[in-house]
Amino acid sequence: MAKEKGTPKTGGRIKGIPNKTTTTIRESFQKLIEDNLEQLKADLMELPPAARVKAITELSKFCVPTLKAVDFIDNTPKEKEQKHIVFIKKK
């Protein structure tokens, strides 16, 4: 039987708790990298410079969070629209 509309959620994963499988995979991958770091460095040095940069960039996606692009909107008045305030000091 379906729950009535508007009833609170019960059961399931609590909001904010990471998926166990994802956490396990990330930990395993990190351990693999740590255990083979010297070999990985040697393999990277054998690549031509352009391929080396590409490989490092691709591998970094697993270690460093990918940043989201941010749009910046400049709401400051343009030069012609700026109002100039002049202060006159009284004697």
Contacts of 55 (CB under 8 A, 6+ apart): 44, 47
**Structural domains of the chain, count:** 1
pLDDT in tens, 8-59: 777 777 777 777 788 888 888 889 888 999 999 999 999 999 999 999 888 8
pLDDT in tens, 65-87: 777 877 777 777 666 555 666 66
Residue 85 lies in a domain: no
Model pLDDT, residue 87: 64
Smallest Cα–Cα separation from 22: which of 62, 59, 58, 60?
A: 62
pLDDT in tens, 9-22: 777 777 777 777 88
Residue 14 lies in a domain: no
- Taking the C-alpha atoms of residue 89 and residue 91, their distance in angstroms, rounded to an integer, is 7
Residue 51 lies in a domain: yes
Residue 86 lies in a domain: no
Residue 37 lies in a domain: yes
